[in-house]
A = this chain, B = another copy of it.
Amino acid sequence: MDLTDAQRFAFDALDLIGAFAFAVSGALAAVRRGFDVVGIAMLACCTAFGGGIVRDVLIGAVPPAAFHDLRYLATALVAAALIILWHPPPRLAGAPLDAADAIGLGLYCVTGTVKALEYGLGPVPAALMGVATAVGGGMLRDLLTARTPSVLRRDSEIYLVPALVGASATSLVTVAGAYSWWTASLAGLGAIALRLLALRFHLRAPLARGGRDRTEG
């Protein structure tokens, strides 16, 4: 699949906005842990680039865009600088962090899927790659700040499902030849809305039988 110029512009715009959002979430997580300014910039970059680097390595698009397309580095560093200059008190950073993470999650599940399709993957593998792109950066951020990733925790609202819905929708519309600025944005906004609704109304996935009787052992 080859992208037209308009489709390429839509891809770049959504991917850079996603990188900005994830960089903000990484910078806020760093602020919450009291990291210094270098640690904040570093965690912003790891969060913004983590998912995309994993995707690019897995589809063979090396070196990854985050390394040779310097707009990504500039975007992440601007986000980190903004958070260094202005951020909520660390104990109130949770809500904006979750919101920024939701935006990154929604946009990356779209762009991850599109780039995988562009590199010749089938619709189902491409959607899986979109999910990996969407959750990869956040998982790295959580590992590096010693938190169990949201995508796994029982006390966290559904996280994987919005990414899966957005990636599947993107894969479907693209394979149907209807990929455009509007459909891509719609899929991304749908995934973001789903994640924000899950956060707002505390939608959680069910536990396995006996899951309540847990021991940390």
Contacts and interface: CB of A to CB of B under 8 A. Distances in A.
Copies in the complex: 3
A39 interface: yes
Contact of A31 (B129, B151, B208): B208
A87 B212 CA distance: 13
A161 B37 CA distance: 11
A30 interface: yes
B91 A215 contact: yes
A167 to B, nearest CB: 13
B214 A90 contact: yes
Contacts of A153: 35, 39
A33 B216 contact: yes
26 contacts: A31-B208, A31-B211, A32-B215, A32-B216, A33-B214, A34-B207, A34-B214, A35-B152, A36-B154, A36-B208, A36-B211, A38-B158, A39-B151, A39-B152, A43-B152, A57-B58, A58-B63, A58-B64, A63-B116, A70-B124, A83-B208, A89-B210, A91-B215, A91-B217, A143-B143, A144-B152
Interface of A: 30-40, 42-43, 53, 57-60, 62-64, 67-68, 70, 73, 83-87, 89-91, 93-94, 116, 119, 121-122, 124-125, 128-129, 139, 143-146, 148-149, 151-154, 158-161, 204-217
